[in-house]
Amino acid sequence: MLVSTLRQSSPGSRAPVVDDIQGVILQRIRLLEYSPGCRLHEARLAEEFGVSRTPVREALNRLHHLGLVQTINGVGTVVVQLELEELAEIYEMRIEICSLIGRLSPNPITREHVEQARSLLRQAQRAADLGIISDYFRINEDISTLVKSIIGNSALRSTWDFLHSQASSAWHHVESRDAFDALLDELADMVVALDYGDPNALGSVQGVHIRYGFLRLLQVLESEKLETAEA
């Protein structure tokens, strides 16, 4: 989203300006450009987007209702760091809704979907070879967008997107070669499911890899806990 586009908006189009600002901040949270605990300054954001603080404040309020930011007295608005129990509930729900992808009026799987997955697999391999963790976050985002394009039920699509946003707060714990290997395995399985044109298989692939992702997260958190105790 170009900042110049936001600056061209007129007072009569205030809602789209808020939508755009919310979208940019949300994307930055999901890509960990704003990591958990990061403070979001209204004035700086308003200056960046070329708007008053009012639409920025409204965008942050919306993200607050989504559970992605919180206001701390004496600090301001910060990106939420979810507790393990909260993450467990989110991952449990993510796993459960995967089985609905192929059952609730899925959109047809096209060759374009297959080629997108293959392209992401190639990008993931390059990112793994070079160790570019920012690409790991971006590719995860692109995978979610690809799956979302196949979800036909609008309520399920919104739920999928919401839970993905919340789960992204845990990604900074898994910046490792193992994470890249898991990403490559996920994309390889996705290519097969999409090549068969089977949305149920795609849902199964997502459910399995989301579960694996949570198990890896638990291992990392346990390791971090032990390191802290020994320090």
| Per-residue confidence (pLDDT) for residue 133, from 0 to 100 | 82
pLDDT category of residue 9 using cuts at 50, 70 and 90: very low
pLDDT per position as a tens digit, 130-154: 988 888 889 999 999 999 999 999 9
pLDDT per position as a tens digit, 162-175: 899 888 777 666 65
**Measured between alpha carbons, how far is 127 from 195 in angstroms, rounded to an integer?**
24
Domains, the chain:
3-79 (1.10.10.10), 84-230 (1.20.120.530)
Please say whether the beta carbons of 202 and 108 come within 8 A. no
Percentage of residues in the chain having pLDDT higher than 70: 87
Which of the residue ranges 1-10, 123-132, 184-193 would you say has the lowest mean pLDDT?
1-10
| Per-residue confidence (pLDDT) for residue 176, from 0 to 100 | 65
Of the candidates 145, 160, 150, which has an alpha carbon nearest to the alpha carbon of residue 197? 150
pLDDT of 128 strictly over 80: yes
pLDDT category of residue 10 using cuts at 50, 70 and 90: very low
Out of 95-109, 131-145, 207-221, the most confident range is 95-109
pLDDT category of residue 228 using cuts at 50, 70 and 90: low
| Per-residue confidence (pLDDT) for residue 42, from 0 to 100 | 92
pLDDT per position as a tens digit, 41-88: 999 999 999 999 999 999 999 999 888 899 888 888 999 888 888 888
Q: What average pLDDT does the chain have? A: 87
Q: Which residues contact 144 (CB under 8 A, 6 or more apart)?
A: 160, 161, 164
**Measured between alpha carbons, how far is 153 from 106 in angstroms, rounded to an integer?**
7
Residue bearing the bigger pLDDT, 13 or 85: 85
Q: How many residues does the chain have?
A: 231
Q: Describe the strand order of the beta sheet including 76-79 as a list of residue ranges.
A: 39-40, 76-79, 69-72
| Per-residue confidence (pLDDT) for residue 148, from 0 to 100 | 97
Of the candidates 149, 119, 151, 150, which has an alpha carbon nearest to the alpha carbon of residue 135? 119
